[in-house]
Amino acid sequence: MTNASGYEHSRPDDPGLSAIMSERRQLINLTYRLLGSLTEAEDVVQETYTRWYAMSEREREAIESPGGWLTTVASRICLDLLGSARARRERYVGEWVPEPLPADTDWISGRWGGGTAVDPADRVTLDESINMAFLVVLELMTPAERVAFILHDVFRYTFAEVAAIVGRTEPACRQLASSARRRIRASQSSAAPAARRADTVRAFKAAWEAKDIDALIGLLAPDATATGDGGGLVQAVLRPIEGAEEIARFFAGRMDVVPDLMLVESTVNGQPGLVAQVDGVPVSVLAFDVAGDRIKQIWSVLNPDKLRLWRDS
């Protein structure tokens, strides 16, 4: 049995439970992209459901679109969190990198959102919107830019809907999304084909294992950057390492510092990456931005709080 909104009734005493809980996957999908942290995304979704069930049954029944209500509340909570995130990041020990996702995170490429007509040049697929390079650029945006852009360009909400969610006018939301788009385009490099990206990361792995500094330099762009995130919980370089030779020497040296380190090829946020393990336990997850046949960026996440999915898999 379904209600007027097409939501399936689960049982007589709580007819909307099945429909409401079925929104969780989509809400996680959205909030991870808004926050760059699965842990924070899960907290936001939990808070959203708490607010839903804090209402009376009559108040819930009066809501025409429960899914729309949940999306609005979750987005607004994220907007508030993003506003305070900058201050939290300033207190963070070392560099902050978005939480990496393994390949078996089953919700990352699900399709969601309305049928909004979007200029093909402005469309961003859900798969594209979880790669590490994309998430890092999102961190440079204002909270309002990020929310407007993700809701409209990624999840296909109309600007009228975005305006209602973020509390801005429709023209203002158009401008926010346009500004975010410019940031994305300015940061984009010529993406290498998937097979070439995988080959480049595989070659980096082999050169790293061999401690072959010359080979590593040859795989890195001259102005490459490597960023580590230990969160103050484990040892990590506090500032990005810049330049191919400096990065090559750093990674080659790690094999001497941690002689039992094992490197495993993996998919990280939808792209070829590496997992560094000690005694079978992941201690670091590496994501790469590859342009042509050279690596431009390396992000190494060592913060154990951000590796729980990898350690549980």
DSSP state of 7: P
pLDDT at 108 over 70: no
89-93, 137-141, 161-165, 197-201, range with the lowest pLDDT: 89-93
Mean pLDDT, range 137-155, rounded to an integer? 94
Confidence (pLDDT) at 190:
67
Mean per-residue pLDDT, 245-259: 93
- Look-up: residue for tokens 């300033």? 90
User: Considering the entire predicted model, what is its pTM?
Assistant: 0.85
Tell me the C-alpha distance between 211 and 256, whole Å: 9
Ranges 116-130, 229-243, 284-298: which has the least confidence? 116-130
Structure tokens given for 42: 């899960």
Cα-atom radius of gyration of the chain, to the nearest Å? 21
The larger pLDDT score, comparing residue 126 to residue 53, is at 53
What letter would DSSP give residue 241? E
- State the Cα–Cα distance between residues 174 and 160, nearest whole angstrom: 10
Residue located via tokens 């809907």: 161
pLDDT at 266 over 80: yes
The Cα 281–Cα 151 span in angstroms is 36
Alpha-helical runs (H) found in 92-169: 132-138, 143-149, 159-166
Residue written as token pair 């400096």: 246
Report whether pLDDT(103) > 90.
Answer: no
What is the Cα–Cα distance from 90 to 232, expressed in whole angstroms? Answer: 13
C-alpha angle with apex 302: 300 to 307, nearest 5 degrees? 105
Q: Which helix or strand (DSSP H or E) is residue 288 part of?
A: strand 281-291
The answer to whether residue 8 scores a pLDDT higher than 50 is: no
- Amino acid letter for position 299: W
Residue whose tokens read 């069930």: 53
Q: pLDDT exceeding 90 applies to what percent of the chain?
A: 69
Distance CA 137, CA 190 (A): 16
Burial of 193 (C-beta count, 10 Å sphere; 0-12/13-18/19+): exposed
Element containing residue 287 per DSSP (H, E) = strand 281-291
What's the distance, Cα to Cα, between the start and end of the chain in Å?
A: 37
For tokens 């305070």, the residue is 84
Q: What is the mean pLDDT of residues 111-133?
A: 56
Predicted confidence (pLDDT) per residue in 189-215, tens digit: 666 788 999 999 999 999 999 999 999
What CA–CA distances, in Å, run from 169 to 33, 39, 79, 152, 166? 23, 31, 16, 14, 9
Confidence of residue 119 (pLDDT cuts 50, 70, 90): very low
Residue 105 — very low, low, confident or very high, per pLDDT cuts 50/70/90?
Answer: low
Tell me: pLDDT of 116 over 60. Answer: no
pLDDT number for residue 53:
92
- Please give the mean pLDDT across all residues of the chain: 86
pLDDT at 62: 94
**Structural domains of the chain in order of their starting residue, each with its CATH number:** 17-187 (no CATH), 194-312 (3.10.450.50)
What CA–CA distance (Å, rounded) separates 210 from 204?
Answer: 10
* pLDDT of residue 124 exceeding 80: no
Window from 8-17, 48-57, 214-223, 303-312 with minimum mean pLDDT:
8-17
